[in-house]
Amino acid sequence: MSDNNYIEKELIPFVDSNYQTSEFRILEGHSLGGLLSLYTVQARPELFTAHYAFSPSLHWGDNKTVEKIITYISSRKSLKQFIYMNLGDEIVKSEHESRNTMRTSFLGLQTIFNENSISGLRVKSEVLKNLPHAATSISGLVNATNELYRYWVLPFDVMEKGPEAISEHYKKLSTDLYY
């Protein structure tokens, strides 16, 4: 996928030169864009810290991206990445293989993530069975961001415990966000 060359060599430098940015980058996509987001996990892991994939078309290309992700994940002992992926209520047959569906590919990758514990890799995966394909990005963006920044809000009981507890809370947040 040459899209990663464009993203690395043109898009990121353009955004960095025109806006205040940080090294913490999130790539999100829906359907084929979700496939690109997950493909980038293994193709260019240094480009993005977090990947949101809403109803990713994992079955596209006869599951090649899923195979590449599995190979990459199984070769890693640690990985400072956050991955969110979801799937709506959809069954889309692949043009290449009639028994390969979006759901089958998604659930297979979900199983791989659940069975492989890799230090630093955080994965949130969910099936939104009451949402159609077109609506998964709306709920997914909220769910992914809430999970990514799960310790962002300082709880009142931590504030009441004083400066040391507050400092400890933010250390935990920094670790959780790979700082």
40-58 pLDDT per residue, tens: 999 999 999 999 999 999 9
Residue owning tokens 């596209």: 60
Is the pLDDT confidence value at 167 over 80?
A: yes
Does 130 share its domain with 162?
A: no
Does 128 share its domain with 174?
A: no
Does 63 share its domain with 143?
A: yes
Could you tell me the two tokens for 73? Answer: 């994940």
Domains in the chain: how many in total? 2
Query: Counting Cβ atoms within 10 Å, is residue 74 exposed (0-12), middle (13-18) or buried (19+)?
Result: exposed
Does 142 share its domain with 157?
A: no
- Write out the residue range of the structural domain in which residue 114 sits: 3-148
Does 158 share its domain with 126?
A: no
CA distance 65 to 59: 8
* Residue 128 confidence (pLDDT): 93
For residue 66, give the CATH number of its domain: 3.40.50.1820
127-157 pLDDT per residue, tens: 998 999 999 999 999 999 999 999 999 999 9
Does 177 share its domain with 124?
A: no
* Residue 97 confidence (pLDDT): 53
Does 29 share its domain with 69?
A: yes
Mean pLDDT of 3-13: 88
* Residue 98 confidence (pLDDT): 59
Mean pLDDT of 65-75: 93
Does 87 share its domain with 66?
A: yes
CA distance 11 to 58: 24
CA distance 141 to 157: 28
Does 77 share its domain with 93?
A: yes
79-135 pLDDT per residue, tens: 999 999 999 987 655 565 556 588 889 999 999 999 988 999 999 999 998 999 999
Does 14 share its domain with 57?
A: yes
Does 139 share its domain with 59?
A: yes
Does 47 share its domain with 102?
A: yes
26-44 pLDDT per residue, tens: 999 999 999 999 999 999 9
